C-alpha cells in the first residue's frame, strides 16, 4: 500500500474568525493514518512508521471494517491516536509509553488495561476515490455520514469502540472555552474550502493551544544550548520544573545573560547555577511528573518575590 504523509496545521496565537472557518478539538497524541483495502490493513505514523504491532486494538477494529464495509474500500482515514483522559483531553505521556513498548505480553496487558483510541477527523480516500481535491467541509460531512452508517461514535472516553471520530462546529470560541475548562490541548481551525495537501504545512489549518501560565524562579542557564533552568519553591526546597528557551529573544535574552553574570554561584561544564532571585512568567501546555511541557517565556516578573513562586501557588493558578 502507498503511504501518505499527512497535511499539517500551522501554530497560531489566536482563533481565526469568519464564516469560512470551522473548529475541532485538538488531542495530544500520535498523528496517524489508517489505510484499509481488500488485501489488509496498514496503520502508520506521520513519519511513515508502522504502528501495527504496538496498537493491536486499532488493527482489530480496522479488520472489522475490512470485513463489514467492503463497499468502502480502499479507505484512508486521517486521525490522532490517543489515550483519552476525558472527551476533551488525551494523555501524551500515556501514548508515549505505549509507543515505546517492545514486549508483546506488555502491549497486550496495556491494551486491556488502558486501550488506545484512533480519533478520525478526515476522510482522504473512500471506495478507492481520492478526496484530496474536495473541500474540507465536503470531506467532513462525508466522514460523518460514513461513521454514522457504520456506527462509530463521536469522541467518547466511555465507548468500547477503538475507532471514533472528531466532530466540528462553527462556534470556535465556545469550543475553545470548553477545552480550557477540561484542561485539553487546544483547537484546530480549518477553512471550509481547504484541500487535503499531502505533506504540506498550511495556514488553512491553524492550531491554537490552550496554555496555562505560572510564575517560576530562574535557577540556571546553559551557555551551550541557551536554555534557562527554572524551578518553584516546595517547602524549604527548590523543585526543578524544566528548561525554557522559546520566547527568550533579543533584549530579554540579553537581560537574562546579565542576570546570570550577576547572580552566578557555581558552574559545572556549560551550566551556570545562579542564586534564586529573579522570577519569570511562563506559558505551558501542562505539567507531567513536575516537568513543564512546551514552556514559553512571557516576561520577567520583577514585581514578584522569588519565595512566592511556590508549587502550591502554581497548582492554584492551574485550577487544581
Query: Does pLDDT of 25 surpass 80?
Result: yes
- Region 18-41: mean pLDDT is 97
Full residue range of the structural domain in which residue 106 is found: 27-168
As a whole number, mean pLDDT of residues 209-223 equals 94
- As beta bridge partners, residue 267 has 272
Same domain? 118 vs 241: no
Mean pLDDT of 232-237: 94
Has residue 179 been placed in a domain? no
Q: Does residue 244 lie in a domain region?
A: yes
CA dihedral (29, 169, 179, 208) in degrees, to 10, reads 70
Residues 73 and 158 in one domain: yes
**Domains in the chain: how many in total?**
2
Residue 78 belongs to domain with CATH number: 3.30.470.30
26 noted as active-site residue: yes
The answer, yes or no, to whether the previous bond of 74 is cis (omega within 30 of 0) is yes
- The values of phi and psi at residue 31, to 5°, are -65, 130
Could you tell me the end-to-end alpha-carbon distance of the chain, in angstroms, rounded to an integer? 47
User: Kind and range of the H or E element at 315?
Assistant: helix 311-317
Q: How confident is the model at residue 233 (pLDDT cuts 50, 70, 90)?
A: very high
Q: What CATH number does residue 275 fall under? A: 2.40.50.140
Indicate which residue of 26, 140, 190, 209 is catalytic. 26
pLDDT grade for 104, boundaries at 50, 70 and 90: very high
**pLDDT reading at 320 higher than 70:** no
Which single residue is written with the C-alpha cell 487546544? 186
Torsion, CA 85, CA 204, CA 7, CA 94, rounded to 10: -10
Q: Does 45 score more than 90 pLDDT?
A: yes
Average pLDDT, integer, range 198-223: 95
Q: Is residue 2 part of a domain?
A: no
Are the C-beta atoms of 216 and 241 separated by less than 8 Å? yes
Q: Is the pLDDT of residue 34 over 80?
A: yes
Quick one: 293 exposed, middle or buried, by C-beta within 10 A (0-12, 13-18, 19+)? middle
Residue 272: inside a domain, yes or no?
A: yes
The set of residues, in sequence order, having a beta carbon less than 8 Å from that of 232 and lying 6+ positions away, is: 214, 215, 216, 217, 238, 239, 241, 309, 310, 311, 313, 314
CA distance linking residue 116 with residue 48, whole number of Å: 19
The Cα–Cα gap between 87 and 25 comes to 10
**CA atoms of 14 and 85, how far apart (whole Å):** 25
Question: Is the domain of 125 the same as that of 229?
Answer: no
Amino acid at each position: 500500500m502507498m503511504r501518505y504523509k499527512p497535511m499539517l496545521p500551522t501554530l497560531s496565537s489566536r482563533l481565526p474568525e469568519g464564516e469560512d472557518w470551522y473548529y475541532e478539538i485538538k488531542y495530544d497524541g500520535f498523528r496517524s493514518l489508517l489505510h484499509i483495502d481488500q488485501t489488509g490493513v496498514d496503520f502508520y505514523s506521520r513519519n511513515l512508521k508502522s504502528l501495527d504491532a504496538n496498537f493491536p486494538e486499532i488493527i482489530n477494529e480496522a479488520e472489522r471494517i475490512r470485513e463489514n464495509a467492503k463497499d468502502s474500500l480502499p479507505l484512508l482515514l486521517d486521525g490522532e491516536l490517543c489515550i483519552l483522559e476525558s472527551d476533551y483531553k488525551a494523555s501524551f505521556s500515556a501514548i508515549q509509553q505505549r509507543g515505546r513498548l517492545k514486549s508483546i505480553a506488555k502491549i497486550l496487558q496495556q491494551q486491556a488495561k488502558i486501550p488506545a483510541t484512533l480519533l478520525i477527523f478526515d476522510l482522504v480516500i473512500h471506495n478507492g476515490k481520492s478526496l484530496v481535491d474536495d473541500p474540507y467541509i465536503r470531506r467532513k460531512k462525508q466522514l460523518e455520514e460514513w461513521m454514522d452508517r457504520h456506527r462509530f461514535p463521536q469522541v467518547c472516553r466511555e465507548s468500547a469502540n477503538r475507532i471514533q471520530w472528531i466532530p466540528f462546529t462553527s462556534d470556535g470560541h465556545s469550543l475553545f472555552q470548553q477545552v480550557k475548562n477540561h484542561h485539553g490541548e487546544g483547537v484546530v481551525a480549518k477553512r471550509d474550502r481547504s484541500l487535503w495537501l499531502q505533506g504540506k504545512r498550511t495556514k488553512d489549518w491553524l492550531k491554537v493551544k490552550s496554555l496555562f501560565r505560572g510564575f517560576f524562579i530562574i535557577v540556571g542557564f546553559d551557555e551551550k544550548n541557551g536554555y534557562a533552568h527554572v524551578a518553584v519553591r516546595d517547602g524549604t526546597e527548590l523543585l526543578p520544573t524544566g528548561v525554557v528557551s522559546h520566547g527568550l529573544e533579543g533584549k530579554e535574552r540579553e537581560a537574562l545573560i546579565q542576570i546570570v553574570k550577576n547572580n552566578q554561584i557555581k558552574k559545572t561544564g556549560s551550566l551556570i547555577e545562579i542564586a534564586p532571585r529573579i522570577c519569570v512568567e511562563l506559558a505551558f501546555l501542562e505539567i507531567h511528573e513536575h516537568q513543564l511541557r512546551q514552556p514559553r517565556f512571557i516576561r520577567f516578573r520583577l514585581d514578584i518575590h522569588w519565595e512566592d513562586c511556590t508549587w502550591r501557588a502554581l497548582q492554584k493558578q492551574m485550577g487544581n
